[in-house]
Structures are given as C-alpha cells and as structure tokens.
Structure 1
Amino acid sequence: MHRLTVVLASTRPGRTGPVIADWFLDQARGHPDFEAQLVDLAEIGLPLLDEPEHPIQRRYRHEHTRRWSAIVDASDAFVLVTPEYNYGIPAALKNAVDYLYWEWAHKPVGFVSYGMASAGQHAVAMLRQVLTPLRMTPVTPTVAIPLRDLVDEQGALHPKDWMGSAAEGMLAELAGHAPALAGLREAGRAADAAAG
C-alpha cells in the first residue's frame, strides 16, 4: 500500500478548500492501493522560505522545515487541492514546494482544482511547470471544480457523479505510477549509498 498525501493548498481565512479536500479524501480512502492522509498548509504554517542554504543540500536549520521534509519524504504520491488566484497558484503552495528538493523526486502528483470560470485549471497548468523540474510526474486526469455550480452560499459542496469518476481516474493513474517511481527512488538511494 502506498502513502498518498492530500495537500490543502489554500491558507486564506474563510477558504472553500476544506470541504473540497474532505470530499476528495473520502474518495482516496476508498481506494485499495492508498493509505491517504490530509496535510493542511494552514496548519503546517511554513514562514516565507527562511532556510539559508539551498534545499538541494538538505541541511535544514529550522524544525518547521524538518517536519515538512519528513512528511513529504514519507509520501509515495500527492494530490494537491488548490484554488486559482489571479490565473496562478497560491503563494503558500509555491513556498511549500520551494522549501524542499529531493523529497519530491520520482513521485506522482494529481490535482483537484477549484475556482470560478476556469475551475482552477490555470493553477494546474502552472503547477505542471513548477513540479516537472523537481522530477515529479503529474498525471493527466484531474478534478476541476467550478465553484459557482457546486458550492452553495453556506459553503457546502454538492458533488456530482462526474467528480467521483474523475477522482477515480486520477487515483488509478497515481496507483499505476507509484510503484514504478518507487523503484526509481530506491535505485537513486542505492547509487547514493554506493557513492558515499
């Protein structure tokens, strides 16, 4: 079984993200290949990148970085639950990504986005560009949630059948990639140990 970390990317007060992340977490916990956990960046509370050394060195000075590193390092796959802010990703998510380097490598990542007209798809396009150089593997199926149609004035999510189908497709791709990429990570660790 693989560890899937669902990252709630918005830290804004009054955010819609928690109801969407909770819905997706229920979908993920029903998948036989994954042990799913939710990580909320608002609770992680990373300050604006404050490590003096490049993350490629993995010489972290701060406890908050070591905690975040341990979470990401122990994960086999990710799903990022993200809004779209001004055609891009939340600053808190970019900050969290930039704290680390090796911990992201050779891991598959999926996206649950939400927003108005584009349902967050501009943010997903940006994330694909940001994550690929870290040697992550973004999967093609996504869940893109139009807020006007599916979240009411009280903030409740009213999921449609297509959302469950989209989530199932994404989880299937993540489950297919996770074991192959785990092999790449193991090969890299073995090479590092032999070199050291």
Structure 2
Amino acid sequence: MTILVFYGSYRSDRLGIRLADFVTQGFRARGEDVELIDARAVGLPMLDRMYKEYPKGQAPERLETLAGKLRDADGFVFITGEYNWGMQPGLKNLTDHFLEEWFWRPAAIASYSAGRLSGAHAATAWHGTLCEMGMVVVSSTLAIGPIAQTLSENAEPIGEAGKALALAFPRFADDLKWWIEAAKAQRAKRAPPY
C-alpha cells in the first residue's frame, strides 16, 4: 500500500509540518509505504496549465514526476491548516495541477490550527473539493489545535491533546487502509467507468 501525505504551508515558521511528520511516521510505523509531499518543496508555479494540458512528454519534470507518484499511490492524506476559514493556497494550487490522477482512490484529512478550532473550516472546505476531484473522503479525521500544545518540534505528542491525538491516529489509519483495500479490490474487479 502506497500512501502520499500532502502538506501545503509556505510560511517560514511552519507548525503544521509537525502534524505532517507525525502522520507520515505513524503510517511508516505501521509498515506502510508512505511519502510526504511538501507543496513548498515541490514549488509548482501558480496554475496556468494543468498536467493533462501539456502534450505527452512535454510537461515540466516536476509535474511529470508528481503525476507518476499520484498514479502509483493507493491513497492520500491531506494535512491542512486554516487560513481565514479556508484552505491553504499552496496545497490547493498543487492539487489543481492534476485531475484524473486523483480518481478512484480514498483520501483522509488531518487539520490543524494555532487555536482551538483545529482547522475545522479548512477540513470542511477540503472535503467537498476532494470529492469533486474524484476521491472518496473517509469519515475519520484528525483535528489538532492548538498544534503547539499537541505536538513537539520533533512531532511527538505532548500534553493531554497529544495523548488524544495518539489515541485517535489508529482509527484514522485503519479507516483509510480499509478504503484503500476496498478501492484496490474494486479496481481489480472492474475498471473505473472513466
């Protein structure tokens, strides 16, 4: 099972990377093949042309590489902070470069904020967006806030909020794994209709 974890903050002081690292390490500890895709590190320009709009073999190397990773992945996790009740533009820009590459695979959402609302507005916005992009969004979510009081700089759970996160992660991971297995079995049984 191959899982891609997406993180999208471009800020210089990024607290959400703690959650991205925690989730990545958590899946790795369960024996899953997992990779963190950091939108800032990928560095795609603002969307002008989607991957599919380039003639075959002429897409920029960053797009071609990421498209291959998306096609090979079995499931996705989106780590999202909340900006003014909405989603982070860096992560949204990365996702919008692709479409068919997302189809027929499950996605899970883990949100965070510096405050007590835990990125709930961003998670809600992402749910509809990911469904529209052809993914099945699993019902289990992680919502972390305040993140600095939940995860240390080394992505280790701290305090009562950290304990709650550590207890919630197995269900989150199990839910995504179940949907990944179901989607793989269905794709093997019958090709997607488009």
Question: What's the TM-score bracket when you normalise by the shorter of the two chains?
Answer: 0.7 to 0.9
Q: Any gaps of 5 or more consecutive residues in structure 1?
A: none
- Look up the match of 1:188: 191
Contact 2:16 2:147 in 1 (8 A): no
1:86–1:99: structure 2 CA closer, same or farther, 3 Å change rule? same
Counterpart contact for 2:112–2:147, Cα < 8 Å: no
Distance 2:16 2:120 in 1: 15
- Aligned partners of 2:150, 2:38: CA distance in 1, in Å? 20
Distance 1:147 1:158, change over 3 A: farther
Judged with a 3 Å threshold, the aligned counterparts in structure 2 of structure 1 residues 54 and 42 are, in CA distance, closer, same or farther, namely closer
Unmatched segments (≥5 aa) in structure 2: none
Which residue of the partner structure matches residue 23 of structure 2?
24
Partner SS for 2:6: strand
Deviation for aligned residue 1:165? 2.0
Higher deviation after alignment, 75-84 or 174-183:
174-183
1:4-24 alpha-carbon deviations (Å, 9 max, x no partner) = 111112121111122221122
Shift of residue 58, structure 1, vs aligned partner: 7.9
State whether residues 109 and 174 of structure 1, in contact with CA within 8 Å, keep that contact through their aligned partners in structure 2: yes
User: Contact conserved, 1:27 with 1:164, CA < 8 A, in 2?
Assistant: no
For residue 112 of structure 2, give the secondary structure of its aligned residue in structure 1: strand
Aligned residue number for residue 74 of structure 2: 76
Residue 14 (structure 2) pairs with residue 15 (structure 1): yes
SS at match of 1:78: strand
Amino acid aligned to 1:11:
Y
- Supply the distance in 2 between the matched residues of 1:56 and 1:183 (Cα, whole angstroms): 30
Q: Which one of the candidate residues 94, 97, 107 is aligned to 2:95?
A: 97
- Rounded Cα–Cα distance in structure 2 between residues aligned with 1:136 and 1:162: 28
Counterpart amino acid of residue 164 in structure 2: W
Q: Pairwise mapping of residues 6-155 of structure 1 onto structure 2 (< 5 A)? A: 6-32=5-31, 34-51=32-49, 55=52, 59=56, 61-115=59-113, 116-147=115-146, 150=149
Match of 2:170 in 1: 168
Q: Percent identity?
A: 25
SS at match of 2:191: helix
Q: Given that residues 3 and 74 in structure 2 are in contact (C-alpha distance below 8 angstroms), is that contact kept between their aligned partners in structure 1?
A: yes
CA-based RMSD of the aligned residues comes to 2.5
Structure 1 pair 77–56 and aligned structure 2 pair: CA distance change class (3 A): farther
Aligned length: 187
For structure 1, which segment, 158-167 or 76-85, has the greater mean C-alpha deviation from structure 2 after superposition? 158-167
**Offset from partner CA, 1:141-175 (integer Å, 9 cap, x none):** 111111266158x9565622210222111110111
Amino acid at match of 1:169: R
